[in-house]
Amino acid sequence: MNPNQTLTEIQNVVDDTLTLAKKLGASQAEASMSKVQGIAVSSRLQQIETLEFTNDGGLGISVYVGRRKGSASTADLSPQALKMTVEKAIEIARYTSEDPYSGLADAQLIARDIPDLDLYHPQELDAEAGIRYAIEAEQAAFEADSRIVNSDGASYNANLGVKVYGNTHGINAGYPSSRYSLSCVLIGKQGDDMQRDYAYSLSRQPDKLSSPREVGLEAAKTTLSRLGGRKAKTAKVPVLFHHEIASSLFGHFVSAISGGSLYRKSSFLLDKLSQQVMPQWLNIHERPHIPRGLASSPFDAEGVQTRNMDIVEKGVLQHYLLTSYSARKMNMTTNGHAGGIHNWLVSNSGHDYEQLLKEMGTGLLVTELMGQGVNIVNGDYSRGAAGFWVENGVIQYPVHEVTIAGNLASMLMNIRAIGTDTETRGAVQSGSVLVDGMQIAGE
């Protein structure tokens, strides 16, 4: 893929589509288009299982006829198909009811300066190398310990893509990006007990992935550590969310402060702007322009310029996450969150992982969450969990088949500490999170 050539080609298609929409009667229009090339390789028991090549492209368009909106999409990019797609979008718009809050983002908020965030690190899409990586990861795991008896497979993925957004306010911009990943899922057995766990590596840069051997050994280690699990006693104790799953807590927070939940009045954080929602020492900074960041972006899905924001400052909620639609519904201004968040950096309390265990004393270290028992409307939280029972700051034994419960509003306020073991493989970068006073339902 020649990224510059592809970018220009896509921009031309987007430009033609927007011109056509105006010509056919749209008062405003926006279009987004992407083109992705990639490989996906999976192996199981050191035998190749699947090998897929992708070469996908697609265009989506939304048109506004006054305050009526219509949307359509196509994977066929021939002039005839594009014309039909635009016509269908306009036809849909004519049949929808008027919505005073619909329309493009305000023109003055649209990105004009598009920084290069160094998101594109191409490497030849080499299927043979991908096969080798997957098989090597499994091989390292099986050689590590005879208790590794089976595998749910290893997989290697590489994707190179270009995406472009344009609208009739004058933006027609895009950028190339790359993403590589390697993962391994194993099954361990000890007596009658069988357990499953995994490890993975993810990066925009292929040379920054962990080696297949490292991924396989890490998967083996986490799987073996779960053997011999017991149920914990029912109790009210501190819970330490391991850094690999801590982002899920902040994911619920994202949902609760998103405009869609707020204007529907379906959030436990309704009317909490400028109020204390977390401990005073805790800050959450959003930094959309981190070079090579996994959630970096110069503009959001509506073309609105992204910018540095301090979402939580000294525990106080400073911003809701708004799209242009939700902002208008709430009589506010969008702040570039159409399509999600961009690199949340959660502060820590200075404790490393071992110090967090000591700080907890006796409680539950959670390494896996199951189920969807989270109610964003009232904050009630109840999920299946697995992990390790800890006494006097020392891990005692694995734990499975327990439920942890609480209320998200209290859980966020009761964060006692956050570790320096920051997880960097996602949109939320946080260390392990220690939460006081959660209910554990076990034996």
**pLDDT single digits (tens) 45-56:** 999 999 999 999
pLDDT tier for residue 133 given thresholds of 50, 70 and 90: very high
Instruction: Categorize the per-residue pLDDT at 443 as very low, low, confident or very high, splitting at 50, 70 and 90.
Output: confident
12-51: pLDDT as tens digits:
999 999 999 999 999 999 999 999 999 999 999 999 999 9
pLDDT, position 4: 86
Taking the C-alpha atoms of residue 343 and residue 216, their distance in angstroms, rounded to an integer, is: 28
pLDDT at residue 57 above 80?
Answer: yes
**Average confidence (pLDDT) over 264-292:** 97
Alpha-carbon distance of 52 to 338, in angstroms, equals 31
Reported as a pLDDT band with limits 50, 70 and 90, residue 107 is: very high
Domains defined along the chain, listed by start: 3-225 (3.30.2290.10), 229-443 (no CATH)
Q: DSSP characters for 37-60? A: EEEEEEEETTEEEEEEEEEEEEEE
Two tokens, residue 127: 């299927």
pLDDT band at residue 416 using 50, 70 and 90 as cut-offs: very high
Predicted model pTM: 0.94
Three-state DSSP class for residue 272: coil
Block residue for tokens 């799953």: 245
Whole-number Cα distances in Å, 238 to 75, 162, 226, 378: 50, 45, 20, 22
Strand partners for 189: 194
SS3 at position 442: coil
Q: Which two tokens stand for residue 303?
A: 């073309």
Residue 26's pLDDT is 95
Secondary structure letter of residue 108 according to DSSP: G
Q: Which residues pair with 37 in a beta bridge?
A: 55, 160
pLDDT at 139 over 80: yes
pLDDT of residue 310: 98
Residues 6+ apart with CB under 8 A from 207: none
Residues 6+ apart with CB under 8 A from 190: 147, 227, 228
What is the pairing mode between strands 235-241 and 193-203?
Answer: unpaired
pLDDT of residue 129: 96
CB atoms near residue 92 (< 10 Å): 17
Supply the mean pLDDT for the chain. Answer: 96
Give the span between the Cα atoms of 348 and 329, in whole angstroms: 35
Cα 191–194–199 angle (5° rounding)? Answer: 135
Q: How far is CA 248 from CA 260, 383, 426, in A?
A: 19, 12, 11
Residue 202's nearest CA partner among 254, 159, 163, 139 is: 159
**pLDDT band at residue 372, thresholds of 50, 70 and 90?**
confident
43 neighbors 82 (Cβ within 8 angstroms)? no
pLDDT 10s digits, 318-351:
999 999 999 999 999 999 999 999 999 999 999 9
State the average pLDDT over residues 243-270. Answer: 97
CA trace torsion 358, 359, 363, 364 (10° rounding): -80
Percent of the chain exceeding pLDDT 90 equals 95
pLDDT, mean of residues 259-285? 97
pLDDT higher than threshold 80 for residue 1: no
DSSP alpha helix (H) spans, 212-300: 212-225, 243-256, 259-263
Instruction: Find the mean pLDDT for residues 191-212.
Output: 96
